[in-house]
Structure 1
Amino acid sequence: MKEIDPGSAIFGELDRAAERLLTAAATLSDTAMTAPSRLPGWTRAHILSHLAAQAPALERLLTWARTGVRTDQYADRAARDSEIEAGALLPAAALMARLRDTTRSWQRAVEALLAPAWNATVVPFTGETCTPRRILVIRLRELTLHLVDLDIGLEVSDIPSTARDVVQDDVVGYYTEAENVPAFTLRDTEGMELDRFNGGGPVVTGTRAELLAWLSGRRASVPHAPGGLPVLPPWI
């Protein structure tokens, strides 16, 4: 599981990723919000509602780390899903206001977290045991990839390299530990080997953006694989 040390660099990445998403989504009308996103079964409003609800949910994990009192992200999956559905029905202006408010509250909370809490153990909704360093990666990943999922003209290739590399390390780390991953080697177009899965095998080559788009299921262009792309198990 990818974790990253707190500090001005990652706080800045989170703030810039949030501003990119908020700026892009602010152009959406009520009608555009109800259009399908790239995620099956979700409209654009569902994605933005999810991000709006995720920020206070992740804040609850920070509270857990700070106080030592277990504070789960959500009561259960049904509560999470119903909150997303309710938010997706809001008018565009109201949904964007909620997203701005919860995003800024999250940013303040994460920047105010004191040193001892960064080493505390918490359990996100996905079930892994981690420290708040992991939460930094989770939020950056969600802000970054869900902007692409909105299907408003932005691709993985538009993600700034500093944010992209954090997310790519996270996705690669997932497949390193996942079951039923075929043997293959991941290499960028500059010849750098990024990882070998199950001892290595056929080489998949592409730009960093192409590789992240493929690994995360968001392919705008296809990496080069002479024997065909390996079939990967689903990523979260």
Structure 2
Amino acid sequence: METWLKDLVTQIDDATARLIATVSGLTDKQIGEPSLLPGWARGHVLTHIARAAEAHRNLLEAARNGTDIPAYASQDARDTAIENGASRPVAEQLADIERTAAVFRAAVHTVPDDAWTTSVTILHLEPFPASQVVLRKLVELELHHVDLNAGYRPADWPVTFKPLELPEPMRSQAADRLSWFSAR
């Protein structure tokens, strides 16, 4: 495994552990409280993190196999899955995040070196190289950890995350989180 990939996988593992620590401190009632994302409770954010891990795994499988496996069946299927999972108790949310993180991590190790340049896409986004899937997973974890509104802030992002050169739309999404807290 190349150094860039090892580094990102380590950062993903660390980000997942921080997220799990935060979520472990929440109650079932707190899962239903508002996140920083309009219209979404914390349970929506957590379910989205798990479903996104599955979507990212699908993209890695597509790159590995050279096939067209969609990240999500459709926008409606994605939205329905998030809505249906949002009210689950914290223990179920944690188990889902842990399970999907492990499945994603296993998928990363199956992608051959020459497949990382394969183009993949998520729903309406422009195609991007499979190598960005791993970066997108890390960004999802760090940004949505902030979105939980459970005490984790952009100031808590590790020094390894802050200097990453993020392509759009990830760069703007990270800048949004920073601006939310600099205005306070």
Residue of structure 1 in register with 2:67 after alignment: 69
Counterpart of 1:216?
176
How far the C-alpha of 1:89 sits from its partner, in A, is 2.0
2:62–2:68 Cα contact (<8 Å) kept: yes
SS of equivalent residue, structure 1 residue 174: coil
CA distance in 2, matches of 1:126, 1:143: 21
Higher relative contact order (CA 8 A, sep 6+): 2
Unaligned runs of 5+ in 1: 179-211, 224-236
- CA 154–41 in structure 1, closer or farther in 2 if over 3 Å, else same: same
The CA deviation at 1:14 is: 1.1
Q: What residue is the counterpart of 2:168 in the other structure?
A: 174
What are the ranges of 5 or more consecutive residues in structure 2 without an aligned counterpart? none
Q: CA RMSD in A?
A: 2.2
- Per the normalisation by structure 2, the TM-score is 0.89
The whole-number CA distance in structure 1 between the counterparts of 2:144 and 2:107 is: 22
CA contact 1:11–1:111 (8 Å) conserved in 2: no
Q: Which residue of 2 aligns with 1:45?
A: 43
Q: Which amino acid aligns with 2:12?
A: L
Moved over 4 A (4+): none
Supply the distance in 2 between the matched residues of 1:27 and 1:19 (Cα, whole angstroms).
13
List aligned pairs for 1:143-154, cutoff 5 A: 143-154=141-152
Q: Secondary structure at the match of 2:182?
A: coil
SS of the residue 1:83 aligns to: helix
Q: TM-score, normalised by structure 1?
A: 0.71
- Aligned positions, number: 180
Contact 2:47 2:82 in 1 (8 A): yes
Task: Using the TM superposition, give the Cα deviation of residue 19 of structure 1 relative to its aligned residue in structure 2, in angstroms.
Answer: 1.0
Report which of the two structures shows the higher radius of gyration computed on alpha carbons: 1
Alpha-carbon separation, structure 2, partners of 1:95 and 1:75? 22
AA aligned to 1:111 is H
CA contact 2:31–2:41 (8 Å) conserved in 1: yes
Partner of 1:125: 123
Report Cα offsets for 1:88-147 as digits up to 9, x if no partner: 121211121111101111112113322122121212224211111111121111100111
Percent identity between the two aligned chains? 32
Which aligned pairs between 1:1-236 and structure 2 lie closer than 5 A?
A: 6-166=4-164, 169-170=165-166, 173-174=167-168, 215-218=175-178, 219-222=180-183
